[in-house]
Structure 1
Amino acid sequence: MKCSLSSKWIQLSLVAVLATFSATQAFAQDAGTRVAVVNSEKVFNESNLAKAMQTRLQNEFTKRQNDLRDSALKIKTAAEKLDRDGAVMNEAERVRRQRELADQDRELQRKQREFTEDLNQRTFEERAKIAEKANLVLRQIAEQRKIDVIVQEAAYVNPKADVTDDVIKALNSLK
């Protein structure tokens, strides 16, 4: 019985030594892993491509936005006029104008939803183009600097590991 007990202790000790050796080896491999971080929102906001995207979207959607604002102002003005004049109108005329205003308001809300959906879709498309170019730049930076992993949005970033400004600089040099 003593032999088997000491044999078990030897086996357990051997397992412990092997586990410690394996863990040390795994940690040493991880310690050699080079990690960098990129702040994608900063890239989407500060790169020349992002600024050009904002200008394109603004040019594309400003007229519709102004038209919606003008329509909302007209409906508001008509509603105020109805409130003022409603007391002296006959019932049928007041009800007709209320229905017209309600119809106009529903139409305006529909157009505002379409505007928002269109703007969101176009923004998504434009951001996807920037992301595609940024991913190519990130891959180049990773290869040049022998970086193993680039992550987005870390809780803490040592400035030495932040490649965001380098990505923006590389994107700005693209034509």
Structure 2
Amino acid sequence: MRLLHSSKWIQIGLLAIATVILAPAAFAQDAGTRVAVVNSEKVFNESNLAKAMQTRLQNEFTKRQNDLRDNAQKIKAAAEKLDRDAAVMTEADRVRRQRELADQDRELQRKQREFTEDLNQRTFEERAKIAEKANLVLKQIAEQRKIDIIIQEAAYLNPKADVTDDVIKALNSLK
């Protein structure tokens, strides 16, 4: 029974692979199909919207990032001081100080995780706004040039089919 189940998934996988391989051939047979490609990462990195996004995120997160770096340096300095002074401290003081440092380190790690999660969330939100506008621009470009399909990222790209710079130019002209 398990072998039959695995066999079914293998057949589905082979069908999917065949579809991926044969689909371009089907498009090629229809000489009227026009295909273009856009490099979305270039749009997210080079458009004015993307640059404004980077500035907003930097303004929003720089203070927290600097605070985290400062706290990490303070903990490191305190740990180095403890290492130097451990020989002359009482056992109770040394253990108490080690616990305090461990607590501070855990708190710092928690704040670093929150920072990373917040930054990732805000980056996702900002990129979604750019993607929404880029999709509208892509639709306009497709309609103007009578393009049937616009693909993101391609293994091979004839420069004539690349509309990335046109998308960036159109996004940059938006107010």
TM-score (norm 2): 0.84
Amino acid of the structure 2 residue aligned with 1:66: N
How many Å apart are 1:119 and its aligned residue?
0.0
Question: What is the SS of the residue equivalent to 1:98?
Answer: helix
How many Å apart are 1:27 and its aligned residue?
6.8
Question: What is the SS of the residue equivalent to 2:30?
Answer: helix
| 1:44-76 Cα shifts (integer Å, max 9, x gaps) | 000000000000000000000000000000000
**1:33 aligned partner:** 33
Q: 1:28 to 1:95 in 2, by over 3 A?
A: closer
Cα distance in 1, alignment partners of residues 108 and 46 from structure 2: 34
State whether structure 2 residue 101 is matched by structure 1 residue 88: no
Please identify runs of 4+ aligned residues in structure 1 that moved more than 2 A: 26-29
Aligned residue runs from structure 1 range 9-88, under 5 A: 30-88=30-88
**Paired positions, count:** 150
**1:171 aligned partner:** 171
Cα distance in 2, alignment partners of residues 98 and 125 from structure 1: 40
Amino acid of the structure 1 residue aligned with 2:114: E
Larger Rg: 1
**2:116 aligned partner:** 116
Question: What is the SS of the residue equivalent to 1:156?
Answer: coil
Question: What is the SS of the residue equivalent to 1:31?
Answer: coil
How many Å apart are 1:31 and its aligned residue?
1.5
* Greater Cα offset, 26-35 or 149-158: 26-35
Cα distance in 2, alignment partners of residues 149 and 82 from structure 1: 64
TM-score (norm 1): 0.84
Q: Percent identical across equivalent pairs?
A: 93
Amino acid of the structure 1 residue aligned with 2:124: F
Cα distance in 2, alignment partners of residues 130 and 41 from structure 1: 11
Unmatched 5+ stretches in structure 1: 1-25
RMSD: 1.1
How many Å apart are 1:30 and its aligned residue?
1.8
**1:155 aligned partner:** 155
Question: What is the SS of the residue equivalent to 1:36?
Answer: strand
Amino acid of the structure 2 residue aligned with 1:143: E
Unmatched 5+ stretches in structure 2: 1-25
